[in-house]
């Protein structure tokens, strides 16, 4: 049996991001699996005589491809890795025969790839998360040093991380893929897709880059200037379009510099500050809601909050009440501002 089901997100406007969607695959033939594996180009050779079965739950966004998969029999896979993409694997169930480019799983990191050759053995019962991200997007989101460091590690076929960090990343990615397969309609919100892609990048960076050099490496004046320009950009931007990479471009500084600047002046990272702004945006929208069909979930996802349980907890921590309570009240102030 071989099945494949695709659920597209709602049709976007011409100016919006490309479509995001989920796919479910249940394949019982290795040749069919080869044909269903793009952007990988692979040849699959089963090891042993057990029945073949591969199950995939796939999430596709404009700049990421994430999937959770399992194998019922051992498989030797050779071929080519996806062009223009950096990939990494988070195995969470391995067999003794599993290997990557002829070596057992490295205890200090995640198997990784840049465009090039592929040679892996996936043992019977293996389960894993595979993540691919576009290299041009990755470079646009990071300062050149950070991007070069990650690519240099990927070229060695290992992204360094601790066992604890790998476990945390794998658990989060599994839950994320399962959540979106259960609720694909959240991909209808462009702000959710943008936030999701940023969360994926942040999750990778937290896993691989736990430390940072001291702030004294950056000049005080440069940090102040970058902070001022970033705040000016925030004032004129739509909350659902805000991201750190664009702020760095507008401020003319590296991501590291902007991080130091925000922590010095506000005590939080730029991403945390943007999240706080969005929480306040949600509160204003909840208070101003007038249509009966407006819900906490729809308003939250308009601002990019797709993990609704976490959102509700953060909202309550900041405002002292659940968002549903806010929605049930009316906007009480309708006068002019201090400056008319």
**pLDDT (tens digit per residue) in 16-32:** 444 899 999 999 988 88
Of 43, 125, 135, nearest to 88 by C-alpha is 135
In Å, what is the CA distance from 191 to each residue of 15, 16, 245, 304, 340? 14, 10, 15, 4, 32
Domain boundary among 193, 223, 247: 193
Contact 202, 172 (CB under 8 A): no
Q: Is 180 in the same domain as 320?
A: no
Q: Is 238 in the same domain as 179?
A: no
Bridge pairing between strands 74-80 and 41-47: antiparallel
Of 144, 160, 161, 136, nearest to 255 by C-alpha is 144
Q: Is 262 in the same domain as 170?
A: no
Q: Is 19 in the same domain as 125?
A: yes
pLDDT in tens, 89-101: 998 877 778 888 8
Q: Is 227 in the same domain as 145?
A: no
pLDDT in tens, 246-266: 888 888 888 888 888 888 878
**Residue 20 counted as domain residue:** yes
**Residue 104 counted as domain residue:** yes
Q: Is 36 in the same domain as 98?
A: yes
* DSSP for residue 82: P
Widest Cα–Cα separation across the chain: 79
Structural domains in the chain (count): 2
Q: What domain range is 176 assigned to? A: 2-193
**Residue 335 counted as domain residue:** no
**Mean of the pLDDT values across residues 181-205?**
92
Task: Check whether 1 has a pLDDT greater than 60.
Answer: no
Separation between Cα atoms, residue 135 and residue 39, nearest integer Å? 14
Domain boundary among 126, 161, 193: 193
Contact 80, 117 (CB under 8 A): yes
Which pLDDT score is estimated for 293? Answer: 74
**Residue 199 counted as domain residue:** no
Which pLDDT score is estimated for 214? Answer: 42
Q: Is 222 in the same domain as 324?
A: yes
List Cβ neighbours of 191 (8 Å cut-off, separation of 6 or more): 240, 241, 301, 302, 303, 304
Which pLDDT score is estimated for 103? Answer: 77
User: What CATH code is carried by the domain that includes residue 140?
Assistant: 2.60.120.10
Q: Is 51 in the same domain as 122?
A: yes
pLDDT in tens, 208-219: 854 444 444 446
Q: Is 45 in the same domain as 188?
A: yes
Q: Is 302 in the same domain as 218?
A: yes
Contact 94, 75 (CB under 8 A): no
Give me 314's structure tokens: 């953060």
Angle between helical axes of 220-236 and 255-266 (0-180°, round to 10)? 90
**Residue 202 counted as domain residue:** no
Contact 21, 65 (CB under 8 A): no
Q: Which residue has the higher pLDDT, 105 or 112?
A: 112
User: What CATH code is carried by the domain that includes residue 226?
Assistant: 1.10.10.60
Domain boundary among 160, 193, 226: 193
Which pLDDT score is estimated for 5? Answer: 56
Q: Three-state SS for 325?
A: helix
**Residue 205 counted as domain residue:** no
**Residue 204 counted as domain residue:** no
Q: Is 277 in the same domain as 234?
A: yes
Q: Is 119 in the same domain as 25?
A: yes
Q: Predicted confidence band at 128 (pLDDT cuts at 50, 70, 90)?
A: very high
**Residue 333 counted as domain residue:** no
Q: Three-state SS for 331?
A: coil
Rounded to two decimals, what is the model's pTM?
Answer: 0.75
């Amino acid at each position: 049996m071989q099945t494949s089901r695709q659920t597209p997100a709602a049709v976007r406007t011409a100016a919006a991001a490309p479509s995001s969607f989920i796919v479910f695959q249940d394949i019982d033939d290795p040749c069919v699996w080869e044909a269903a594996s793009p952007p990988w180009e692979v040849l699959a050779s089963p090891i042993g005589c057990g029945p073949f079965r591969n199950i995939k739950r796939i999430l596709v966004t404009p700049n990421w491809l994430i999937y959770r998969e399992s194998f019922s029999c051992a498989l030797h896979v050779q071929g080519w890795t996806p062009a223009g993409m950096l990939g990494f694997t988070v195995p969470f169930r391995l067999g003794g025969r599993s290997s990557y480019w002829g070596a057992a799983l490295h205890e200090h990191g995640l198997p990784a790839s840049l465009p090039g050759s592929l040679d892996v053995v996936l043992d019977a019962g293996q389960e894993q998360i595979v993540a691919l991200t576009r290299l041009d997007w990755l470079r646009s989101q990071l300062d050149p040093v950070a991007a070069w460091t990650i690519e240099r590690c990927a070229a060695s076929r290992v992204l360094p991380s601790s066992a604890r960090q790998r476990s945390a990343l794998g658990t989060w990615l599994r839950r994320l893929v399962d959540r979106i397969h259960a609720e694909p309609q959240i991909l209808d919100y462009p702000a959710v897709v943008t936030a999701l892609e940023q969360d994926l990048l942040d999750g990778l960076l937290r896993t691989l880059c736990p430390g940072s050099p001291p702030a004294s490496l950056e000049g005080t004046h440069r940090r102040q200037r970058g902070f001022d320009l970033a705040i000016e950009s925030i004032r004129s931007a739509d909350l659902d379009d805000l991201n750190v990479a664009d702020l760095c471009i507008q401020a003319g500084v590296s991501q590291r510099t902007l991080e130091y600047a925000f922590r010095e002046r506000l005590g939080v990272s730029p991403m945390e500050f943007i999240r706080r702004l969005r929480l306040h945006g949600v509160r204003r929208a909840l208070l101003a809601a007038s249509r009966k069909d407006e819900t906490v979930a729809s308003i939250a996802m308009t601002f990019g909050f797709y993990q609704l349980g976490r959102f509700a907890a953060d909202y309550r921590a900041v405002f002292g009440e659940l968002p549903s309570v806010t929605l049930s009240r009316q906007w009480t102030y309708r006068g002019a501002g201090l400056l008319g």
